[in-house]
Amino acid sequence: MSKDPDQIDLFEAISMLSDHDEVERFFYDLCTPQEIKAMKERWKICKALAFDNLSYREIRQKFGVSTTTVTRVARFLTDEPCQGYKLLLEKIKKGEKQC
């Protein structure tokens, strides 16, 4: 997808991580606490949209997030071409990994 060599290098490095502990250790070094909080928030919203059949308003109230954030996650879940959220959600549905 990306032609940026630095981005390719980063994603290749991430793909080399083999378990939860390695992923966690790398992301805690790579990201600020606020960046991790934002990613956790988006992932909770994604799972709520996919699995919990909640409205945007219910998700906003349940997680204390903005409607803009819910809408952004929903857009990437349904409309954007990369479909990264859907890829991981399908793996979860198939039982490849538990969340």
Q: Note the pLDDT tens digit of each residue in 16-52.
A: 999 999 999 999 999 999 999 999 999 999 999 999 9
Structural domain boundaries enclosing 26? 1-30
The pTM of the full predicted model, rounded to 2 decimals, is 0.84
Question: Do residues 26 and 37 share a domain?
Answer: no
Q: What would the two tokens of residue 96 be? A: 């490849």
Pairwise CA distance, residues 89 & 35, whole Å: 21
Token pair 């992932």 in the structure block, residue: 43
In this predicted structure, what is the pLDDT of residue 99?
55
Question: Do residues 7 and 41 share a domain?
Answer: no
Question: Do residues 24 and 38 share a domain?
Answer: no
Our count of domains for the chain comes to: 2
pLDDT tens for 47-80 read 999 999 899 999 999 999 999 999 999 999 999 8
Question: Do residues 37 and 17 share a domain?
Answer: no
In this predicted structure, what is the pLDDT of residue 3?
83
Q: What would the two tokens of residue 21 be? A: 């502990």
Question: Do residues 95 and 67 share a domain?
Answer: yes
Pairwise CA distance, residues 21 & 39, whole Å: 17
Q: What length is written for the chain? A: 99
Question: Do residues 1 and 26 share a domain?
Answer: yes
Question: Do residues 2 and 19 share a domain?
Answer: yes
